[in-house]
Structure 1
Amino acid sequence: MTEILVLRHKIHGMVADRYADALRERLPDTPVRLARTPDQERDLVTDATVVTGSSFAPALFDHAEDLELFASTYAGYDHLPLSEFRDNGIALTTASGVHGPNIAEYVLGAWLSMARGFLTARRQQRDRVWQSFQADDFAGSRVCVVGMGAIGTAVLDRLDGFDIETVGVRHSPEKGGPADEVYGYDDLHTALADARYVALACPLTEETNGLLDADVFRTLHAETVLVNVARGPVVETDALVSALRRNHIGGAVLDVTDPEPLPEDHPLWNFENVLITPHNAGHTPSYYDRLADIVAENVERARETGSWDGLRNQIDLH
């Protein structure tokens, strides 16, 4: 019989009990156990077919005798022991797609807030200043989304009705997507050249590490608003600071930074055209429900096929 073990973890302050309950609702005939201590993790992992959590301690491999699947509660997986999963024949899935709706709302909210001057309005309200200021139109602009996975696609899907031109950048541009134009990373400068609003929603890989460097900031329009919901190192921080100081971009909304957390004395805190949030765009009260849907679907699929392969959000470890 399949048994599921939920490891100790929290997602944006939400306790794992809610996740375990969501799994029980979807899989009423499957034992779902919640480990609350390291000792319980070591004891309960022995009989677990599926383990789910934000990380997997290497010491657990010695006890995971029946483990077939580790279902990560994060979309990213670079922090996990991938080679050990592969060597032990353990499948790996992620939470990809769980963040799509809420992070897409974050990106659109960020763009609209910058276009309509909400940061200026907030400063004036704080200082009790009644003074008209100029704003921009979001409609009629060119928007570029770098990364067309679940999050990037969700952003592009929500741009219908805004009367804008959309451009997407992805590793395999031949796959297309919900954008007026789709480019590969080799054509990044072309995709960004006339964009007034840019969102980074790509994974952090060797290809995307430092993707937005000083050369790219020279290509960006002086009024471009950059939103980063990918990973901090996708942007070269020194190059971003330099572009802001020289007034070479219109502003930035950063949910991720490099370094992270951002030190209190970092210059990024001091720009009036920069909004920083604490890696919080992924928060949604529906997180565990959406994640439980993915895990339950994969458990049911494995029951039907007799194989822990071909699963939703499965990572190719080979």
Structure 2
Amino acid sequence: MSATDGTTSDETPDVLVLRRGTHGTPVEEYAKAIRARLPDRAVELARTPADERDAIRNVPFVTGMTLEESVLERAENLEVFACAYAGTDHLPMDELDERGVAVTNASGVHAPNMGEHVLGSILYFTRRFHVAGRRQRRREWRHYKAHELQGSTVTIVGLGAIGRAVADRLEPFGVETVGVRYTPSKGGPTDEVVGFERDAFHDALARTDYLVLACPLTETTRGLVDADALTTLDPNAVVVNVARGPVVDTEALVDALRREAIRGASLDVTDPEPLPEDHPLWNFGNVQITPHNAGHTPKYYDRLADIVAENARRFYGDGGPLRNEVEL
């Protein structure tokens, strides 16, 4: 294997980059960015499923978007899997735990771009650009009523890197912010912090104009925004989901939109995903849909490569704890 061109050979690479599960992601650029940061290490890109199964056999350090069980079962010496996503709920975590494999994630690399995405989504509905778009397509020069963001209340569920980035970007707009996290006593960048207890959460929802979901998918957050939560929200509230699709009960959301129980929704993630062509969510004029795209910018892979390369250096001799290690 050549450390400069990424072609495969019989040599065992120091770092293996998996291509599977990337869905159009420029994984060549990701592998190139890691090589640039590890000039003394052999970095191989597995270009086909067969390459993945063959190359992973003896590699201790692997990175990629996903790790399928059919590939994992071939990994005889795997010690670290550096997931290129912030979420790891799609990985075979139980088996990785049983094998003693350390898992790291991409927490933090999404913060600037996803913070901007959320801010854009909020402004989209505040200034009702969806209404302007419809009238432009019809060539109608007709005024419509818009809103102001100042004085609104934005509730941010999840105060990790993404949630903090959202709060930071909202600060100049003169809004009240409520953060929701597992341990409210830790505080956060929001004006108020509450927990996931039903009374506290629903009290926050009742005061919310924009509900931003930026949390991981866990037993607590799965179905968090259900029919009751959507009923608690004011009819003028907007739901912005950049977390995971199953955080929102899709049937309840469709019902709320049909009944005009909320003002609209901005969905970067859905359940199911990809969203089927015949799904009713496509047909609402007050629903903004992006294809799980909030975290994708060219700088994403540079920030991710910084974390992965640093962890490879620590693993191969520099020492110290791995960055972004996930508790299994």
Q: Which TM bucket (shorter chain)?
A: over 0.9
Matches within 5 A, 1:1-318: 3-9=14-20, 11=22, 13-186=24-197, 187-304=200-317, 306=319, 310-317=321-328
Instruction: Give the counterpart letter for 1:223 in structure 2.
Output: N
Distance 1:133 1:59 in 2: 55
Question: Is residue 9–residue 16 contact of structure 1 (8 Å, CA) maintained in 2?
Answer: no
Structure 1 residue matching 2:57: 3-state secondary structure:
helix
- Greater shift, 85-94 or 122-131, is seen at 85-94
C-alpha spacing 1:151/1:4, structure 2 compared with 1 (3 Å)? same
Q: What is the deviation of 1:153?
A: 1.3
Normalization by structure 1: what TM-score?
0.93
Structure 1 residue matching 2:204: 3-state secondary structure:
helix
For 1:50-95, what per-residue CA distance to the aligned partner results, in whole angstroms no more than 9, with x for missing partners? Answer: 1111222334445433322111111111221212222222111111
Instruction: Give the counterpart letter for 2:43 in structure 1.
Output: V
For 1:107-145, what per-residue CA distance to the aligned partner results, in whole angstroms no more than 9, with x for missing partners? Answer: 100110111111111100000000011110001111111
Q: What is the deviation of 1:24?
A: 1.0
**Long gaps (5+) in structure 1:** none
Normalization by structure 2: what TM-score?
0.90
C-alpha spacing 1:10/1:25, structure 2 compared with 1 (3 Å)? farther
**Long gaps (5+) in structure 2:** 1-11
Distance 1:311 1:216 in 2: 38
Which residue of 1 is the match for residue 3 of structure 2? none
C-alpha spacing 1:219/1:311, structure 2 compared with 1 (3 Å)? same
- CA-based RMSD: 1.9
Structure 2 residue matching 1:92: 3-state secondary structure:
strand
C-alpha spacing 1:179/1:98, structure 2 compared with 1 (3 Å)? same
Structure 1 residue matching 2:171: 3-state secondary structure:
coil
For 1:173-206, what per-residue CA distance to the aligned partner results, in whole angstroms no more than 9, with x for missing partners? Answer: 1111100000001121111211111111111111
Question: Is residue 3–residue 47 contact of structure 1 (8 Å, CA) maintained in 2?
Answer: no
Distance 2:161 2:325 in 1: 14
Structure 1 residue matching 2:179: 3-state secondary structure:
strand
Aligned identity (percent) is: 58
Instruction: Give the counterpart letter for 2:154 in structure 1.
Output: V
Instruction: Give the counterpart letter for 2:239 in structure 1.
Output: L
Q: What is the deviation of 1:11?
A: 4.2
